[in-house]
Amino acid sequence: MSAYQKRKYLDFFTNFANCILCSTIMELIISTILGCFAIGVILSAPMGPIGILCVQRTLNKGREAGWWTGLGAAISDLLYCLLTGMGMSFVNKVIESNQAPIQIIGSAILLVFGFFLIKRNPATEIKDTSDKKENHYQEMGTGFLLTLSNPLIVFLIIPLFARFGFPSTDMPWPLIIVGYGVILLGAIVWWTLITYLVNAVRSHFNIRSMWVINIVIGVIILILSIYGLITGLMYYFN
């Protein structure tokens, strides 16, 4: 084989390897972005105290009041995600070496959360806020503080991180930073959507509507958790 042919074959295999590497990187980027977006939406979607407050302000004061409240909640969720991610960095090796059991446990926790969300009655968490006058920064602040006052959200973030494999030690730091940004984006998109819908159908929006949102989100979480359980069990027994 001539030197020219050897170089030609070497160039071919080099280009082939680069294509595989690029496709792997793109797959990692896409899966990280989709997973982090889902995390942001799932953290924001349940109609708990902050969701009820956001809807109430949208109905009483307009869409902007509800949106700024949701933005404060989204920033607080991001803060808890950052703290959880920093804490998980110390046990990433344990997580990756026990990926299947942790995915199974995380999916089981999400399964319980989904059932709890479906059974939850939003009417028990409604408070009268129509007489309070606040500017947008105060609305954002109350949304932030109300969400911050619930550190138990960490127990939802951990199984979500385990379910979607974020963050992991094989991720470059720029992608991890982008992932956290996408979590915030997912939350903002949710609050933008919910305040727009509530404002558009304000005359028809009631407690039953909030309950329906909880049921829909609960079913989606149940589907994700069941899928996680099945894949985790298959990986564990294989």
Task: Give the per-residue pLDDT at 92.
Answer: 57
The residue segments making up the domain with residue 133 are 3-237
Task: Give the per-residue pLDDT at 188.
Answer: 95
Residue owning tokens 């951990």: 158
Q: How many domains does the chain have?
A: 1
Q: What single letter denotes the amino acid at residue 48? A: G
> Residue 201 and residue 184: Cα distance in Å, rounded?
26
> Which of 48-52, 106-110, 176-180, 196-200 is most confident?
176-180
What is the per-residue pLDDT across 106-122, written as a single tens digit (0 to 9) for each?
Answer: 778 778 877 876 776 65
Q: Please, which pLDDT band fits residue 179 given cuts at 50, 70 and 90?
A: very high
Residue 183 has pLDDT above 60, yes or no: yes
Task: Give the per-residue pLDDT at 88.
Answer: 67
Task: Give the per-residue pLDDT at 3.
Answer: 56
Residue owning tokens 């009417």: 123
Task: Give the per-residue pLDDT at 13.
Answer: 46
> Residue 106 and residue 93: Cα distance in Å, rounded?
17
Vertex 18, ends 13 and 21: CA angle to 5°? Answer: 125
> Residue 96 and residue 83: Cα distance in Å, rounded?
19
Residue 147 has pLDDT above 90, yes or no: no
Residue 96 has pLDDT above 70, yes or no: no
Task: Give the per-residue pLDDT at 70.
Answer: 93
> Residue 77 and residue 44: Cα distance in Å, rounded?
8
Q: Please, which pLDDT band fits residue 167 given cuts at 50, 70 and 90?
A: confident
